[in-house]
Structures are given as C-alpha cells and as structure tokens.
Chains A and B, each alone.
Chain A
Amino acid sequence: MKKWILFIFIFFSALITTGCGKPFLSTLQPAGEVAEKQYNLFLLSFSVMAIVILVVVTIYVIVLVRFRRKKGDENKIPKQVAGSHKLEVIWTAIPILIIIGLSIPTVYLTFYFGDVKGMERVDEQGDPKHLVVNVRANLYWWEFEYPDLGIITSQDLVVPTGERIYFNLKASDVKHSFWVPSIGGKMDTNTDNLNTFYLEFDPEKSDEAGNIFYGKCAELCGPSHAYMDFKVKAISRDEFDRWVLAMQKNEEPELASELAVKGKQLFEENDQFSCISCHATTARDDRPEATRLGPNLADFGNRTRVAGYLEFTKENIKNWIQHPEEYKPGNLMYEKADFTDEELEALAEYLMSLKVQE
C-alpha cells in the first residue's frame, strides 16, 4: 500500500516537473516574473499539502492494518474512548501554524501583484516609464490599445520582453477574463469597471517558447468561449520599437497585385456588407471605442491565427469570411456571407497584404 502511494507520488511529481504541458501555455513552465512567483507559491503550498496528505495516509494505513475486525473477535467490544484533549490541541494548533505560515507569502504576494502604481510613473521628460496596454474584450475577440503610442491592434498582442507591462482591462459586452497562463495569472475584464494588473515576459524563456504565447478567455462568455483565444508576440525592445514605428505610420501598405486592389474595393464597398464600417485597416483609429465594432486589421498579414485560433492560411481566411458562424458560433460579425469564390480570393489577398512590416 505504502509503496503504491510512493509510486503515485513520484509519478505525479515527474508529471509536474517534466510536464505534458506546452511551454507556450502551461502554468508549470513559467516564462515571466508573475507566473514564476505563482509557480513557486504552487510548489510551496503543494509541498506543505503533500506532507499533510502523507500524515493522514500514514495514520489511515496503520488504522486499516491494525484495527480490522479479525476472525474470532466478532464479539469483542472495543474500549469506548470519548476523546483526548491533548490530541485535539495538537491537531488544532499545527494546522493553525501551517496556515499562519502560508498566510505570509499569500498576503505579501497579493499586495505585490496588486501594486499598479508603476502605471503612472513618468521619467524626467514626463513620458510614461512603462508600457500600458488597454485590453478590451469582446464577443469573441480582443482589442489591444497602446494609449501612449496611439496605436491599436487586435487578436495578436505585441509586447517587449524584460520589462513590466501594465494592463487596463475591461469588456464591452459580457464579462470575459484575460489570461496568458505561462506569463501570469488571470484578471477578469468586467463590464462595470476597469481592472488593472501587470505582467512581465522573460526574454530567454520567450525565446525558448518560440516568442509566441497562447492567451485565453477564462470566463464563460457564450458558445464560442472556447475559441476566444489570442496570441502574445513577445519580442525584444528594439524589435518592438520598430514594430511600433511601422504601426504609427498610419497608412496602408502598397498593394502589389491587381487582386489585392480588387479586394480593397470589395472591403470598402460590396453588395452585402460594409467591412470598413467596423474594421479599421490602419493602427491609428481615432474613433471612440463604442464604434470600433470589429477587430482592427492593421498588420493582419502578420497575424499568427485566423479568427484567433485557426491556422493562418488563405483557405481559412476565405472560409472564415464566408461562414463565420461555423467557426465561431454566436459571433457578432454575421452568420454567413454569399461572396463568390473570386471575391473571397480577392478579399483574402487584400487582407494578407495588410502588413506594416515584413
């Protein structure tokens, strides 16, 4: 019995450390300060709890081995013990001590993670010291606005590694929750108020994970809750600055092909929908957020996924435009469109050419 338990314990310890999880998704392979601290807290509490389990199981096994009713003892009446003050005090006091012990890192880290004063800090020139991102969650897509840089992007959050990034979080329709598991714990995006927290991306760990982290919506928000994924591109500060400059140019790239030009026309004007009325194609979008009804498509050509979770291929873009309801039921774009194959081809070509940099 004991050997079994030891075996199970070792097996699962091995599971935890090596992990079946993926480095871009697993909380057990932290790639940032917040997740790292939370992981350490996990290991600490897990070890303490493993000891608790061990104590209980030890007593349990002894009891089961020693005190089972044996043949010939059927009529034996055991001594009726009322209790023991000494024992009661022991198993009240020790848990209290354990909990006081656990409370210290708990309270400390609660305040540590909750400290968002850095958000307002400025340098000598009066420029903000830290990058701030406004996250707005929608059914079923994410908007990332960089208020101090004047740019907006959607679905793919781009961040510099090695520094604290502060987030303002809110939802525009129903409650969602912003979560990048391997970078740090989640925070809800409420419809009522603005939530704030920070994350940090570790440069080396980011490289190891391929510089792309998976983000998820962690609060039930409707039929497509499972598909409300986003990606985080964690790149070096230099690369990030170059990306920001390119985004700030605020003009669409030269369209190389005839097909793309036709796509642009369709995008702006077609018989069925007016794509442009919801989707901006440049990163500077001065309209108020209530009118930004669809994801910003600037730099769409560099996206990692279509609709947040499908592989980035032309075929998927075409399918998505034609049958969004099949891929994200309950989405607010439209149920399905009736574009001809050429039109779809042109639209996809146009969208794929929306790149602010190569």
Chain B
Amino acid sequence: MSSIAEKRSVGAVLWEYLTTVDHKKIAHLYLFGGGFFFLLGGIEALLIRIQLLKPQFGFMSEETFNEMFTMHGTTMIFLAAMPLLFALMNAVVPLQIGARDVAFPFLNSLGFWLFFFGGVFLNLAWIFGDAPDAGWTSYASLSLFSEGHGIDYYTLGLQISGFGTLISGINFLVTIINMRAPGMTFMRMPMLTWTTFIASSLILFAFPPLTASIFFLMFDRLFTTNFFDVTAGGNTIIWEHFFWIFGHPEVYILILPSFGIFSEIISTFSRKRLFGYSSMVFATILIGFLGFMVWAHHMFTTGLGNVANAIFAVATMAIAVPTGIKIFNWLLTMWGGSIKITVPMLYALGFIPSFVIGGVTGVMQGIAPLDYQLHDTYFIVAHFHYVIVGGVVFALLAGAHFYWPKMFGTMLSERLGYITFVLFFIGFHLTFFIQHFLGLWGMPRRVATFLSGQGLDMGNFISSIGAFMMGIAIVIMLVNIVITTVKNQKVGNDPWEDGRTMEWALESPPVYYNFKQTPFVRGIDTYWIEKMEGNKGLTPAEPLDDIHMPNNTIMPVIISLGLFIAAFGMMYNPMNQVGDGKPWAIPVLIIGLCITFGTMLIRSIKDDHGYHIPKEELMNDKHKGGIAS
C-alpha cells in the first residue's frame, strides 16, 4: 500500500501537473485532455445523428451541420483518438521496457501541451463563430472557398497540435530504441511496445506531409499565395495527394497501437503467450509499410487514370493479408487457453468480429471499379467507423479498463463495465451496420439532410437510435470512473492476476522512479517467467545505486502558449483572405513567437542537469520498485 497519504492543496496538484515531466503523470494529462475532446466529439456526433433522425428535420442549419461533422472528424482523429492512445503508451510503454522514463521527458511534456493548446485553439472556433466546415479532409477547392475564419482555426490548430504529435512520436522512437532494459531485445518486446514503435515511425513519416500541406493552405488563405488556386495556376489535386499521404498512414497510427493493446489483453486473459509472436511483429511492420503505398485509394474517383487505380487497388487489397494474420493469431492465442471474461477481454472479444467486418468492407472498397459506387457514400462512413470505433475506440475503452489500476491504483467496477460494454456494442452495430445499406441505396455522405421518398428514412432512424445507446454507455462509464475514484480502493501490483509483462511487477501506480534497480529481462513476458519460477518480482540487472531524475519545468506550457498566442496574430494579419485584418495582429504574432523562441533559448542556455535520488534514500524507501528482495 502506498504510504503517501499527505493532503496537498488543489493549487499544488495543479502546479505539479503543469510542470511534470513524469511519463505517468503526462499519461494522466493525455487521458483527461483526450477524454475531454472525446466527449466533445461524441456530443457533436449525437447532434449530427439528431439532425439525420428524420428527413428534412431542420434541427440545425446546413452550415452548422457541415461545421459539426468537420469538427467531429477532426476532433475525434487528432484530439481524441491519438492523445488517448498516447495516454496509454505513456503510461505503459516505459514500464514494459524497464525504463525509468521516456528518453526526453521535457519533450514528452512539450508534446502534450502543444497538442492541448492546438486542440483548444481549434475548438475556440465554436466560440468565435466560424468553425471549419470543409470536412476533416478539407479539400482545397472548398476550403479556399469557405467563408469566415473556420478553416484558419483548422490549419493553425492542427499545425500546433501536429508539432506535439511529431515530437511525441520521435520521443517514443528514441525511447524504445535506447531505453530498453538489459536483455529486452527487440524480439522480446511486448506487442504494445512494438506497435507503439511502428506507429511512432509512421508518425515520423506521415506528419511532415500534413504539416507541409496545411502550411500551404494556411498561406493561401492568410498570405494570398496560390498553391491551390486553380485560376492562378495552382492545383487542388495536390492537396488530395498530400492529405492522403498523411491520412492513410494516420489510420494505421491509430489502429496499430490498438492492435497492441488487444494483443496484451488477449494473451493476458487467455493465460497464454501470444501465438505467432514473430509473425505478429512482421505483420505490424508490413502493415506500416504498406500503409504508405495505398493513399490513392481515397482518390479512385478523382480521375487518376486506369493504371494508377489498378495498382493502388491491388496494393490496398494486399493489406488484408497481414491484417488477416493478426486476426488468426489472436484466435489461436485464445485456442487452448484459459479464457477469463473480464471487461477488457469483452472489448477484445467484441473487437474481433467488428473489426473483421470493417476489414472486409475495406477490401471491397479496395476494388477500384466497385469503389466508384461506394466512394463518398454512407458505405464508407460505415466502413471507417467499423475500423475506428470497432478497432480504436474499443481498444481505448478496453485499455482504459485494463490499465486503470496501473495508472490510478484503483479498479473500475466490472459490473458497470459490463453494462457499458453491452450498450456500447449493441449501439455501435445498430448505428453503423445499417449505414452500409444506406450507402448502397444511394445516400452520399456529408449530406446535411435527406429527402423523404428515397427509401432512406428507416435506416437513418435506426442509426440515430444506436448513436444514443453509445452515448448512454459512455455516460455510464463516466459514472463508473467517478464512483471508483471516490471509493479509492487501492489494489496490488497485479490486480488482473494474470499479468505477463513488466508493468504488472510494479506497484499500482508505480513509484515515481518506476524501477529501483533496472530489471534484467530473460525472455518474452518477463514478469510471467519470473512468476512461473516462483519469484515475487523482477531480477535486477544492476546493484542499487543513485537514480538520476529530471527536474519539473513550466517551460513546455510557456512554449506552447506562445504558439497559441501567435496563432491569433497569424489569423488576423492584414493580408488574410477574409479581409478582417486587425492592427494588433502583427504585434501579437511577434510577441507570441518571441515567447516561444525566447523560452526555447533560455532552455538551451540554462543547463538543467536534474537531480539524483541518493542510494540511502532508496534503501529506506518502502517501495519495492518492481524488484524482488
């Protein structure tokens, strides 16, 4: 049990979180930040489904509807799914590889605050009147045509949060390459670590094209350049290529860590090691690689020509092979196991059939000549919600339940968890299954309403009902979180009893330096090996010694805040397309950038060597830090 029971003031806690560089606390920040945006995106989804409850409902104006689904998509992808995955990665990956923190704790904090300020900036669009309205894809001809500052919130907000994502991605790459404990070879890494590694390398290659294209779009709108202005010799198809060269890998950035989470859960609750570990690793790498080869399947109807369409069609279908390998490996992991049905496992079990449906409709859309019919209809809406909700969101919910004890030291109620799962699962299929048919019956996506007499009424009605079930499920989950937090019943190291990887050898939550002594890794599923040999903890790889720790710092917040301020100056600069330039804009831009770069300069000049926890203090510390002794 934790010995720290001292009460701290709210201000002190707040300051702790603002300045923290501890990966476990940053995980909390990502969880709350991402969770907040997830709720926001969810409310937007419900409003969308209310509008489509019946033909020509008129619940909101067409303009508002366009803003609603644009913000729903943008929020869910950039501000909810990715940060929530980062929350779980931050919480777990350093523990899984036996590290005391990520490679660059300062950058870890900076990554979070950039994401957070970018997200807040984007959502301020609601308050100041013009939300982006050109879809999360923001195709250039429409986004240049869009009135008001909506698209500027999109370009500036995503650039700021995009920096954060890129920084976090690089951080995880370096962490996983450099910080593994002795004996933790690449082929002994847990699947979540592997998938984080691959997803991070996808971030490294996918985000620069997005940044570049958003930069172009921003300059077109704010500084009257002509990258995408056809009348002035620009080209809008280039935007589509740029966007999807980012956009396709992006969905793998989301789904690969989700695969990782499910791999951990399935093998834990089947009490078996992952079946075909090396082929799982290989499949992950292959999916990541192929993910960059298929972007033009989003553009089959753009008119790229027969050769391009045929090549991209076949390449797209090829991704089904490594994905299939994964599905069968999960099934075979369970085969012969001792399956315990817990809430995380339920999500994993719900995930397999849901994701298979999403996968096969993906193959169908990969068939270019068939995609001419399916593209931009509700069929595609159904497809990507099957993979993103059925894959990523299920993984996030499963992961939240699974790692909650490791993150907060308490167990979410299993009973409420079951209710959440059942409602969410049924609601999900109710919402999206029928949408395949709506698309086939001729309903285009992104329509603000539909007319009666076209055979679309019933399907839309069913879909909206389902959405509300999902909404209720999430509310129950929130209740669950509140109850659990209030009860505050602390649990031990390995609350699921079948933990396999190193994080379960540590306290829940782990002490701030994670491992008192760096552990020694003797094979896949380190903790499982020790448990099977009757050991209570991990084997140390080094004698007890001083631990070097980084200092907390407020600088990441200030750096991010500077960019946040500069973005307003950028948006209202006198050259902007909307024509409402403000005299204060340029000074604000300069002040903002000065804050950011000035803080970076101070950080560079002022050496911060961190501090050491002396050996004596560690010896007296009651915390075990994962080591059996």
Contacts and interface: CB of A to CB of B under 8 A. Distances in A.
Interface in B329-369: 329, 331-332, 334-341, 349, 352-353, 356-357, 360-361, 363-364, 366-369
A166 to B, nearest CB: 14
Contacts of A226: 62, 447-450
Nearest to A171: B141
B320 A95 contact: yes
Contacts of A113: 369, 372
A83 B353 contact: no
Contacts of A45: 363-364, 367, 370
B180 interface: no
Main DSSP-derived SS at the B contact region: helix
Interface residues of B, number: 90
B324 A186 contact: no
Which of B66, B328, B369 has the most chain A CB within a 10 Å cutoff?
A: B369
Contacts of A95: 320-321, 324
A79 B451 CA distance: 59
Contacts of B490: none
A295 interface: no
A220 B313 contact: no
For the residues of A in contact with B, the DSSP-based class is mixed
A249 to B, nearest CB: 34
Nearest to A94: B324
A222 B369 contact: no
Interface in A42-87: 42, 45-46, 49, 52-53, 56-57, 59-60, 63-64, 67-69, 73, 76-84, 87
A149 to B, nearest CB: 25
Given A20-B455, A45-B364, A114-B306, A15 B141 contact: no
Contact of A175 (B139, B275, B356, B459): B139
Contact of A222 (B142, B360, B367): B142
A190 B237 contact: yes
Contacts of B370: 38, 41-42, 45, 106, 185
A78 B454 contact: no
Contact of B440 (A28, A73, A87, A196): A28
Contacts of B624: none
Contacts of A27: 373, 440-442
B338 A73 contact: yes
A82 B336 CA distance: 12
A63 B445 CA distance: 38
A21 B142 contact: no
A214 B454 contact: yes
Instruction: Place the interface of chain A in its size category.
Output: 35 or more
A211 interface: no
Contact of A99 (B133, B236, B317, B329): B317
B331 A63 contact: yes
Contacts of A57: 353
B466 to A, nearest CB: 15
Contact of B447 (A20, A21, A25, A225): A225
Contacts of B444: 179, 216-218, 225
Contacts of B623: none
Interface string B56-100: 000001110010000000000000000000000000000000000
Contacts of A79: 272, 336
Contacts of A312: none
A72 B5 CA distance: 39
Interface in A172-192: 173-175, 177, 179, 181-182, 184-188, 190-192
A127 B314 CA distance: 39
B331 A60 contact: yes
B364 A49 contact: yes
A41 B62 CA distance: 35
B302 interface: yes
A10 interface: no
A198 to B, nearest CB: 12
A329 B62 contact: yes
Contact of A214 (B321, B331, B442, B532): B442
Contact of B62 (A182, A195, A224): A224
Query: Among B303, B324, B332, which residue has the most Cβ atoms of chain A within 10 A?
Result: B303
B145 interface: yes
Contact of A329 (B61, B134, B328, B339): B61
B440 A110 contact: no
A261 B338 CA distance: 86
Interface in B205-232: 230
Interface stretch (B29-37, B193-201, B276-284): B276-284
A295 B353 CA distance: 49
A196 B278 CA distance: 47
B585 interface: no
Interface string B38-54: 00000000000000000
Contacts of B142: 174-175, 220-222
A44 B97 CA distance: 46
B235 interface: yes
B107 interface: no
B309 interface: yes
A94 to B, nearest CB: 8
A106 B367 contact: yes
Contacts of A105: 367, 369
Nearest to A70: B338
A101 B446 CA distance: 34
B272 A81 contact: yes
Contact of A49 (B273, B309, B363): B363
B372 A185 contact: yes
A225 B242 CA distance: 24
Contacts of B272: 78-81
B277 A188 contact: no
Contacts of A169: 303
Contacts of A80: 272-273
A235 to B, nearest CB: 21
Contacts of A191: 141, 230, 236
A28 B441 contact: yes
A84 B276 contact: yes
A25 B439 CA distance: 11
B442 A184 contact: no
B276 A83 contact: yes
B327 interface: yes
What are the 8 closest A-B residue pairs judged by CB atoms, nearest first? A185-B372, A21-B441, A226-B447, A49-B360, A83-B276, A114-B306, A195-B303, A181-B442
Given A27-B442, A218-B376, 13 more contacts: A27-B373, A49-B361, A67-B337, A84-B276, A106-B366, A106-B369, A107-B314, A111-B306, A177-B301, A181-B441, A185-B373, A188-B302, A190-B302
6 contacts: A16-B437, A20-B459, A22-B454, A67-B334, A106-B367, A188-B301
